[in-house]
Amino acid sequence: MPKDSVVNSKQAASKPETKDTKGLTATKEADFSEWYTQLIQKAELIEYSPVSGCYILRPNAYFIWEQVQAFFDGLIKADGVKNCYFPLFIPESLLTKEKKHVEGFAPEVAWVDFGGDTKLGERLAVRPTSETIMYDAYAKWIRSHKDLPLRLNQWNNVVRWEFKHCTPFLRSREFLWQEGHTVFATKDEAVRENYKILDFYEQTFRDLYAVPVLKGQKSEGEKFAGADFTLSCEAFLPNGKAIQGSTSHYLGQNFAKAFGIEFVDEKQEKQFAHQNSWGLSTRSIGVMILQHSDDKGLVLPPRVAPVQVVIVPIIFDKGKEEVLAAVKVARIALEKAGLRVHVDDRDGYTPGWKYNEWEVKGVPVRIEIGPKDVEKKQCMVARRDSGEKKPFMLASLGKEIPALLHQFQQDLLTKAEKHMVASIVRVETVADAVTHVENKKLVLVPWCGETSCEERFKEKSGAKSLNAPFDQPALKKGQGCFACTQKAIRWHYFGKSY
């Protein structure tokens, strides 16, 4: 993937875009890193900042995140979750209260030691995640079973000082996300919510991003630090790599015991609460980009596209007024249908150059209207995904274009689903697993569940454990682990991953 040093803001600024440099010059297959770096800049999603690993989300990218916010926020609010906000800075004494949690995050924590020129009495962590500062407050708020459940979420930024190569969207030092933190009286209630939230995440990926995911439980070695278990949604991309899209953690009573989150139950006995935490971040935008985009640039699912339809007038001196009048009528009809429309009537640019620019930006549908089209009371409509181009009657655009966009969204999902299904191979030996991973496949293997076995296979193949599917195939009697001599306890997905 592109390194943070590939392009910096000064280099980008020194070479303003011209008509000759608008399109991508690298291909996804031949030079994946350069292709991705060019795409996210030329599609005006990302600008590099002076701080390595921290990126500027331009309006085109932030709009996508706003659609995700609105959609997921609607799901959780309808289910009873409320939004809140907690401080960015976390005292060191709070961050270190849960031992496994702080050990998991210690290498990624950014610290504040000074306020101006004054050394602080206690170091402050820049929020890597909010369990510790939120649970300190929860311990004050929860006294009785009547105070439960407590189900809060916040939309915020977090900082994780990654030492690996940073990549916009996929791995950055600061990113945006939502983090839900919920408290229940019983384990059953917490676990039910844990699975429900994962269903909400799957719905978000499928309905907005047109990305199918594999739901399952992470291994002990890959679970969230401080959790009893972690559930995840994993996507599998056309380049043969998996990527974690979202996670939902059952924290058990670990944090409740560390922070004193206790309540008096109906029998007037003190109990420690059961907790969950769950999150979805702007990494999901990167998942979508890598899933759908091509050598021409970005391919956006219509539901998250800032511009769903671009209209390009084909203007000559003769018939100019008639063309512009037809464009206006088409725009009004599409906007009345609830679509996000842009008319590109800029002077000084050829229609071909405009087509190229909007293809780079991933606009799902392009409409071309010229003098001959006006005479025929029609327009030419091009799809960004397939490149298919055919005439539509101007009078029917208000009905036909929304239907086309709906089909576009479904076709992207269907294509991605077919790729995922075709990429999963069930094998029972380490040799077969290595071969298929090298051939850009995702392997489903019988596994003993031991971390040492997992680590040895990763060293051998470069593949890591992803998750164990909820719908487990039956293990044969006496089924052995694919990678060692122990008995298998479950089927598990392994693959190369970001």
Rounded Cα distance between 465 and 163, Å, is 22
pLDDT classification of 124: cutoffs 50, 70, 90? very high
Domains 55-90+129-292 and 307-404 share a fold: no
The CATH number that domain 55-90+129-292 falls under is: 3.30.930.10
Q: Measured between alpha carbons, how far is residue 49 from residues 52, 173, 294 in Å? A: 7, 12, 26
The string of pLDDT tens digits covering residues 77-118 is 999 999 999 999 999 999 888 777 777 777 889 999 999 999
Q: pLDDT per residue over 418-460, tens digit each?
A: 999 999 999 999 999 999 999 999 999 999 999 999 999 999 9
Please give the single-letter amino acid code of residue 122. E
**DSSP one-letter code for 314:** -
> Has domain 307-404 been given CATH number 3.40.50.800?
yes
* Ranges of each domain in the chain: 55-90+129-292, 307-404, 423-495
* 326-358 pLDDT, tens digit each: 999 999 999 999 999 999 999 999 999 999 999
Closest CA to 8 of 61, 57, 43, 53: 53
pLDDT at 7: 38
Q: Encoding tokens for residue 42? A: 């030329």
Mean pLDDT of the chain: 93
- CATH hierarchy code of domain 423-495: 3.30.110.30
Name the band, by pLDDT with cuts 50, 70 and 90, for residue 16: very low
**Interatomic CA distance for residues 104 and 164, integer angstroms:** 16
Per-residue model confidence (pLDDT) at position 1: 45
User: What whole-number distance in Å separates Cα of residue 251 and Cα of residue 377?
Assistant: 62
- 3-class secondary structure, 261: coil
Q: Beta-carbon neighbour count of residue 495 at 10 Å?
A: 27
- pTM for the model: 0.93
Rounded distance, CA 165 to CA 3, Å?
A: 6
pLDDT at 225 over 80: yes
